[in-house]
Amino acid sequence: MIEDYKNFLKEILIDRVELQERIAELGAEISRDYAGKELLMVSILRGGVFFTVDLMKSVDIPHKVEFMAISSYGAGVRESTGDVRITFDLQTNIRGKHVLLVEDIIDSGHTLSSVIERLSAQHPASLEVCTLLDKASRREVEVPIKYCGFDIEDKFVFGYGLDIDDYFRGLPFIGVVDLEKYVPEE
């Protein structure tokens, strides 16, 4: 049984208010940029769904949403394995549509680079990336990020969609794990 997150929470990196203020700013920017265009947001599950829902509330132009599930992390793993698998694919044809990929965090870039390559082959009118968190110091593959909520340092973060062994996604803030106190599940 995993323990209470408070036992290994080192700090709250981004609190609820700061998250919502920045998401509102991103929503306003996206609304301006896509005015008059048919916008399709593609949320990367599972972590991206929390950010996507709040972002959708802040985008005041008509838009649709789709979902993709990608797997590149194993249980208890803090880094992508590099083996990117699509576990749930789009149900919509994106040819000729303005697609905005919505992701919770971009780390090495391998996962999103694979998704971009796959979706580009379907000939959308445009394909842009919106991420809540960018951990650029860990980037191994360049990813073109148009909208970024927060640039963060190389820290093990959780909450607001980000998980630890599939727990704690529902926390209303982004916290940092104290690696001296956290012991991964076996």
Walking along the chain (186 residues) 10 residues at a time, the average pLDDT comes out as 83 97 98 96 90 96 92 54 69 93 93 91 96 94 96 95 89 93 72
pLDDT at 179: 87
Name the active-site residue from 54, 104, 107, 134. 107
Query: Residue 36 has what pLDDT?
Result: 95
pLDDT at 182: 80
Per the annotation, the verdict on 151 as an active-site residue is: no
DSSP labels, 63-94: EEEEEEEEE---TT-SS--S--EEEE--SS--
pLDDT for position 67: 93
71: Cβ–Cβ under 8 A, 6 or more apart, which residues?
84, 85, 87
CA distance 111 to 45: 12
Q: Which domains does the chain have, with CATH numbers?
A: 5-177 (3.40.50.2020)
**CA–CA distance, 69 with 64 (Å, rounded to integer):** 17
Amino acid at 13: L
Residue 131: left (phi > 0), alpha (psi -120 to 50), or beta? beta
Candidates 64, 57, 22; CA nearest to 41 is 64
Structure tokens at 153: 């340092």
